[in-house]
Amino acid sequence: MDLTLDLTHRSVLVIGGAHAARRSIARYRAAGAAVHLVTESPAPSAAKAVEWPRSADGWRGLLSTMDLVVLVGATPAIDTTIAALATELRLWLTRERAAATGPVGHVTLVGGGPGDEGLMTVAALRALRDADIVYFDRLGPHDRLADWAPGAEFVDVGKLPGHHAVPQAEIERMIVASALAGQTVVRLKGGDPFVFGRGGEEVLACRVAGVPVSVISGVSSAIAAPAIAGIPVTHRELSRMFTVVSGHAPFTDEQLAHLVGLGGTIVVLMGIGTLPQLSAGLARHGMDAAMPVAIIERAFTDSQRTTVASIGTVVDSSAQAGIRSPAVIVIGEVVRLAHDADVAAVELLDHAARLAR
Ligand code: SAH
């Protein structure tokens, strides 16, 4: 059961090693509590250190001034003593996991989804909760980081389109260095870490440095941005495959011919700059000029916008609309199902359903 307590100005006693309890201490301080730490092995810490009581009476005296007691990785003997006193004093007691104490920390690459906090996974929120340091960029959700990772330091390695605020090699160096210093590191990325997110490179950098690394998948904008605009990337009898491509560099003739030959839905990320070359190239390789195209800009933000056109008209339409990154481009019959498409999608659905029978 989860219980939300208002801990503002409340006295919280944390019992455990200073290093093991560092995250618990940070969390209760962030919640506004006055945090006291009792530890057998004093170390510099953010909480006021209290001397380790030598008798049950000593413990009783100390606990009676507290509102909440937190046991972090306590021995069975301490756990029994404190639990009995907490019952006697009608004191709230909670037990928490010790933070990693090994010399090397851990890196978790976390997919934050396309920007809507509702599309963060439970695993992503858990990883953030345990983080000592979070490296994030702008495409992922970041407004509420302070709530999600109350014990963490934040580093914005923000990448604006076409502009890497922090070069990739430097990001890799930083996450590895933090982990080698014993920290629990979260690298929070937009969408899914392995969909044009350079997640593979960051995993390799960790492996090379001997840093344990894991990956938490996220909801990719390649699927979620079309979906929020009403476009399913597959639809029975209409599209039985979807291809996700990066448009950051111009397409070769061979690639364009392949894309036309596939016949399914094409989803383009980072494709606004190369859209004129892509649409002209697809038409040149035989794609019907009437093939529908949708561009979904800034999906899941207040300024989300969908522009629907066709391969033949998309360059003019996007110039007129003043389309900008970040945007997902969808090419295929499924675009007819978009909320903003001005064609009779119902007829199309009906037709597809009849074919499927
Ligand atoms: N790993 C990410 C993609 C990173 S590449 C993912 O899985 O979603 C960056 C590109 O993703 C942008 O150029 C844009 O094409 C797309 N993108 C990401 N978030 C978006 C959003 N909220 N709205 C529109 N496009 C988005």
Of 131-135, 171-175, 348-352, which gets the smallest average pLDDT? Answer: 348-352
Which atom from ligand 1 is nearest to the alpha carbon of 299? 23
Q: What torsion, rounded to 10 degrees, do the Cα atoms 342, 345, 351, 352 define?
A: 130
Task: Name residue 310's beta-bridge partners.
Answer: 292
- 3 DSSP 8-state letter: -
What is the residue whose two structure tokens read 């200073």?
A: 18
Question: pLDDT band at residue 347, thresholds of 50, 70 and 90?
Answer: low
What separation in Å is there between the alpha carbon of 262 and the centre of ligand 1? 23
Rounded CA-CA distance 212/210 in Å is 6
Residues with CB under 6 Å of ligand 1 are 114-115, 139, 161, 190-192, 195-197, 220-222, 225, 269-270, 296, 298-300, 325-328
Q: What is the DSSP string of 149-172?
A: -TT-EEEE--EETTEESS-HHHHH
- Look at ligand 1, atom 24, and give the residue with the nearest C-alpha: 327
Superfamily assignment of 222-356 in CATH? Tetrapyrrole methylase, C-terminal domain (3.30.950.10)
What's the CA angle centered on 186, arms 12 and 93, to 5 degrees?
20
- State the catalytic residues: 137, 159, 270
Does pLDDT of 116 surpass 70? yes
Which atom from ligand 1 is nearest to the alpha carbon of 298? 23
Question: Of how many residues is the chain composed?
Answer: 357
Domains of the chain: which residue ranges?
11-96, 106-219, 222-356
Rounded CA-CA distance 150/196 in Å is 29
First-last CA distance in the chain: 48
Quote the pLDDT of residue 66: 94
Quote the pLDDT of residue 12: 93
**Which tokens sit at 261?**
């030959």
- 117 DSSP 8-state letter: G
Does pLDDT of 346 surpass 60? no
- Fold held by 106-219: Cobalt-precorrin-4 Transmethylase; domain 1 (3.40.1010)
Q: CATH number for the 11-96 domain, one of 3.40.50.720, 3.40.1350.10, 3.30.70.140, 3.40.605.10?
A: 3.40.50.720
What separation in Å is there between the alpha carbon of 211 and the centre of ligand 1? 28
Query: Does residue 21 contact residue 35 with C-beta atoms inside 8 Å?
Result: no
R_g over Cα of the chain: 27
pLDDT tens digit sequence for 272-296: 999 999 999 999 999 999 999 999 9
